[in-house]
Each structure stands twice: as C-alpha cells, then as structure tokens.
Amino acid sequence: MFRILWQKKALILFLVVLLVLLPGAVSRPAQMLSKAVLTEITIDKAGGEYVLTGEMVINEAGGGIGGGGMGGGGEGEKRTKTLVATGASLGDAINKMSASQSKQVSFAHCNLMIMGEGLAGENLADLLRYFLHRTEINNNCAVAWKEKGRKTTLERFYKDYMRYVSTSTLTQGPVESAVFKSGKYAFTLDETQTTAVELLRSQKPKKRFVQDGEVLHVLSNRCNIKTSFKDDIPTVNIKLKIKTQLETNPQASTESLVQLARGLEQRLLDDVTQTLSHIYGQDADVLELYEKFYRKHNKRLSFYEFFNLIQFNVGVDVTVIT
C-alpha cells in the first residue's frame, strides 16, 4: 500500500495543493466585481488637462467578465461601456475614473492604446512610462497615433526611443503612420510612404498593388541594405527583391508579365526614393542607418554631418508570376 502511494506521490501532492487553494479561490470576488477592466484606452489632452477614455467590458447580466463571465458561472453577452475622466495628470485622470466606478481601474486586458492629437507636443515616452512599468499590462499591447492601428507595440516604441538616434513610428489609421523623434510627434507618412517603409523593413505589405489595371499580390519581399563611404560620403546601397502574383489574368503572356514587372519596379523605385528623401531630410533615422555606419566603419561623422551628407542608391527587382 505504501509503495502504491509513493508511486502516486505527485498526484497526491497536486490534490493536497488543490484542496488548500480551492476555498480561497471560490470565496475570492470575481475580477470584474472589484475592478473596472479596460480593453482599449485613448489618451488625449485638451484645455490643459489629460483626457482618458476607456472601453470597459461588461455583460448583459451586469457582472462583466467576472460575475457572469470569466470569473462567475454564466457566460453572459460581452459588451463595452465607455468611461471618460480628465485630470491635471494621467494618474489624476485614472484616479477619477476609479472613483466614478468605485472600482480599481485595471489594464490587464488592454490590447490597444490610442494617443490623441492633443499630445502632439508631448514626449510620449514619458507619458507611456507609467504603463511600461506596470506589471499587469502586456508590453505587446499596441500603441497607435490618432486612430486605431496595431503594428507597433509598447515595447517596440520604447526600444526605438532608446536608440542613439531616437526615432519611432506608430500606426495612424489603417494606411498611414506617424514618425516620432525623441518621443515627440514629428510628421505623418501617407499611404505610399508607409508602404515604402514597410518594403524597406523587409515587411510584406498586406495591400495589393494595382499596375496597369491589373491586381498583384505580394508573395515575398526582401530588402538588402549595405553601407559604405564613397569619396568620404556615407552611402547606402539598397536592393529590394519583390515577388508578386498576378491575380486578375492567369493566362497572361510572358511578355505581359515582364511589362507589368518593369512598370511596378519603376513606380516603387520612385516611391522609395521620394520617401527616403522625405524622411532623412527631416533627420529621422527610421532604418537605424546611423548605428549601422558606426558599427561597421571607422570614419566618424557627427549627427548633423551624417544627415546632410547621406546618399542613397536604390534598386528594385520585381518578379510577376501567374
């Protein structure tokens, strides 16, 4: 008997722990009964005060995730209730929101933070530091500018902010993006420029390209960047290799495919070249090129010299298949 019990010791230990913890778990109030759980927040500034808007999860039974949902017995239909609070600081606004609900505000389930246009003159890194150091919030929570978007996480924003040339980007709506220098809003990239940056970062755009009335789906994209000094000028050689599939004409001839490829190559070459000129003309190092030069080359240039001298050589190679 003792031998059998010894062989089952892991199972017995598990049951003992379960019996010890179960009474406390059963008696503990559901999370939504004691906390206002926000799944999405917007932070803005107006009239000298911070405005915090949060989407709080509730259900039809009125108990939220806890009483009739995750923490209670019934499921209940999940809905959201919009909460708004203002304050002289972000912390003050959070406290007022807690007081209005008689509950502690929780960001444990927050998956999106939208920064309002009223924060254009603020250092977002200082403002978001409150959330970065909160153990309950996930660093993979998305941060967006002005409108919903989910490409940049809280952690990614801070990593870019902490680089020597502090340049971060946030999604601005479905197709645009915003560039931040040293944590402050600098300028917006339109849809074409945003796509160009995605290509330069070896990302595969979700959008289709329309060329000469035909629709092309991007299958793969690879960007190779090499840095060098040519006649004492910091030179960046960029080669984009993009593979696309023609979706609108599966019987297209080889000649037609080549013509489409050459047309798209020239278009993307113009888009990428213009985007690089626009971004680096404003001293925004979105591709981390300043660090690349300093890691690989002995020649040292000041920040000012680098952005005034840098030159780009861009090549685009597009393949179209059926």
DSSP 225: E
Helix (H) and strand (E) counts for the chain? 11, 13
What fold does the segment set 204-321 form as a domain? GMP Synthetase; Chain A, domain 3 (3.30.300)
Mean pLDDT of 138-149: 92
Encoded amino acid at 109, one letter: H
Which residue type, as a one-letter code, is found at position 190?
D
Q: What pLDDT does 13 receive?
A: 60
What pTM was estimated for this model as a whole?
A: 0.81
pLDDT at position 27 over 90: no
pLDDT digits (tens, 9 = 90+) for 263-322: 999 999 999 999 999 999 999 999 999 988 888 887 778 888 899 999 999 999 999 999
Read off the pLDDT of residues 223-274 as tens digits, 9 standing for 90 and up: 999 999 988 899 999 999 999 999 999 999 999 999 999 999 999 999 999 9
Question: What are the domain boundaries of the chain?
Answer: 19-188, 204-321
Q: How far apart are CA 83 and CA 52, in angstroms?
A: 8
- To the nearest 10 degrees (0 to 180), the angle between helices 154-161 and 124-132 is 130
Q: Which of 149-158, 173-182, 231-240 has the lowest mean pLDDT?
A: 149-158
Residue 312 to residue 286: CA distance in whole angstroms = 14
Helix (H), strand (E) at residue 66: helix 64-67
